[in-house]
Chain A
Amino acid sequence: MDDLAAAFGQAASLLLGFDAELIEIIGLSLRVSFMAVGLAALLGLPLGAAVALYRFPGRTLLGALLNAFMGLPPVVVGLVVYLMLSRAGPLGALGLLFTPGAMILAQCLLVLPIVAALSAQIVADLNEEYNEQLHSFAAGPLQRLATLVWDGRFSLMTAILAGFGRAIAEVGAVMIVGGNIAHSTRVMTTAIALETSKGNLALALGLGIVLIALALAVNFAALALRDAARPRYG
Chain B
Amino acid sequence: MAEPAIETSSILPLRLESVSYEASGKRLIDGVTFDLRAGTRSVILGPNGAGKSLLLRLCHGLIRPSAGNVSWAAASGVAVPYRQAMVFQRPVLLRRSVAANVAYPLRLRRTPARERHARVEEALSRAGLSALAGRAARSLSGGEQQRLAIARAWVMRPEVLFLDEPTANLDPAAARAIESLIDGVHASGAKIVMTTHDLGQARRLADEILFLHRGHLLERADAATFFTKPKTAEASAFLKGDLSW
Contacts and interface: CB of A to CB of B under 8 A. Distances in A.
Q: Tell me, yes or no, whether A and B come into direct contact in the complex with CB atoms closer than 8 A.
A: yes
Interface stretch (A25-33, A72-80, A134-142): A134-142
A151 interface: yes
Question: DSSP class of A's interface residues: helix, strand, loop or mixed?
Answer: helix
Interface string A136-169: 1111100100010001101000000000000000
B92 A233 contact: no
A132 interface: yes
Contacts of A133: 88, 92
B60 interface: yes
Given A133-B88, A138-B81, A138-B82, A233 B97 contact: yes
Contact of B138 (A132, A154, A234): A234
Interface string B55-99: 001001010000000000000000101100110100010111100
A231 interface: yes
B136 A136 contact: no
Contacts of A139: 108
Nearest to B81: A138
B108 A233 contact: no
A130 B60 CA distance: 16
A145 to B, nearest CB: 13
A137 B108 contact: yes
A232 interface: yes
Contacts of A2: none
Contacts of B227: none
A233 B96 contact: yes
Contacts of A137: 104-105, 108
B82 A232 contact: no
Interface of A: 129-130, 132-133, 135-140, 143, 147, 151-152, 154, 231-234
25 contacts: A130-B92, A130-B94, A132-B57, A132-B88, A133-B88, A135-B62, A136-B86, A137-B105, A138-B82, A138-B108, A139-B108, A147-B94, A151-B94, A151-B96, A154-B95, A231-B136, A231-B139, A232-B97, A232-B134, A233-B95, A233-B97, A233-B136, A234-B95, A234-B136, A234-B139
